[in-house]
Amino acid sequence: MVNGERGGEESNGWNPWYGPLALLIGFVASIISGVVVVVIGHAAGSSLTNPTPAVTDVGTLVEEIGFVLSALWVASWTGWPRPAQFGVRRPPRFRLWQIALAVALAYVAFIVLSALWTVVVSQGSSEKYLVKDVGAHAGAAGVLAACLVLCVVAPVCEEFLFRGFIFGAIRNWRGPWLAAVITGVLFGAIHVGSAPVVDLVPLAVFGILLCGLRQLTGSLYPGIALHSLNNAAALVVNADWSFTAFLAVFIGSLALIAALVSLSQDRLKVALW
């Protein structure tokens, strides 16, 4: 592969329709795997119509991993993929404070736009059912599982698929801005059923802002951090936890993500290079 023009990021050669196709494949796989997990959970005593938090967490984990695998599989159609093609690398030419500022500004923009949207539609949203589903009130084990799934696994896997692969593929077609809009819409659409309808537009906007971070920094890491921040805030607010709990969840999630990235860096290079 030859180097591209985005801070040394490698060009990928992906067709623009690869991204939506990988999403479709991952979605179908998630339905199949979800049914399997629910059936196995039912055999262990869980309800088919109202699965236990453990079954929900395992199903979500399998779904998120399936998204990553679908992206890797479709990406391999044009050659063995490399980490930098997905933005899996340190942001070039940016210092930590600059990255932190970009993430903070993107999050403030998301909060402001979400608030304006809530005013326009004259309706608030509620995700307390999601908090209950993932077990955020089900004791220490449930809390840890909820934090792991929502604030670590989901940000890493969804950023890899949406900003790492889908955005990277569509960007080859008409540039970054149209790619950001399309990717953001797809990101909002994939949350149908798991988030209140009123939240789908703000989620699409959030997806666009995450694409902006990816384009600006040339890295997936700032978007993962912002995604984790948003999920941690949503979890803490809807579970009625304290601000101290929010700091613990967010900082703990970032520390775990950083540790996983550090431990897997060499292995990932060997696997994908």
pLDDT at residue 272, rounded to an integer: 47
Is residue 61 included in any domain, yes or no? yes
Is residue 6 included in any domain, yes or no? no
pLDDT tens, residue by residue, 123-175: 655 554 455 555 555 556 677 888 889 899 999 999 999 999 999 999 999 89
pLDDT tens, residue by residue, 67-82: 999 999 999 999 888 8
Average pLDDT over residues 91-107: 91
Is residue 67 included in any domain, yes or no? yes
Average pLDDT over residues 177-194: 93
Is residue 190 included in any domain, yes or no? yes
Query: Global pTM?
Result: 0.88
Is residue 77 included in any domain, yes or no? yes
Is residue 172 included in any domain, yes or no? yes
Average pLDDT over residues 76-89: 91
Helices (H), the chain: 18-43, 53-75, 96-121, 128-133, 139-148, 154-159, 167-174, 176-189, 200-217, 221-238, 243-272
Measured from the Cβ of residue 171, the count of other Cβ atoms closer than 10 Å reads 24
Is residue 10 included in any domain, yes or no? no
Of all residues in the chain, the percent with pLDDT exceeding 90 is 51
- The domain total for the chain is 1
Average pLDDT over residues 106-135: 74
Measured from the Cβ of residue 37, the count of other Cβ atoms closer than 10 Å reads 22
Instruction: Tell me the C-alpha distance between 201 and 210, whole Å.
Output: 14
By C-alpha distance, which of 270, 268, 180 is closest to 223? 180
pLDDT tens, residue by residue, 203-248: 999 999 999 999 999 999 999 999 999 999 988 887 777 889 889 9
Non-local (6+) Cβ contacts of 38 within 8 A are: 46, 48, 51, 55, 59
If you count them, how many residues does the chain have? 273
Give the residue numbers spanning the domain of 115. 18-272
Is residue 243 included in any domain, yes or no? yes
Instruction: Tell me the C-alpha distance between 116 and 129, whole Å.
Output: 24
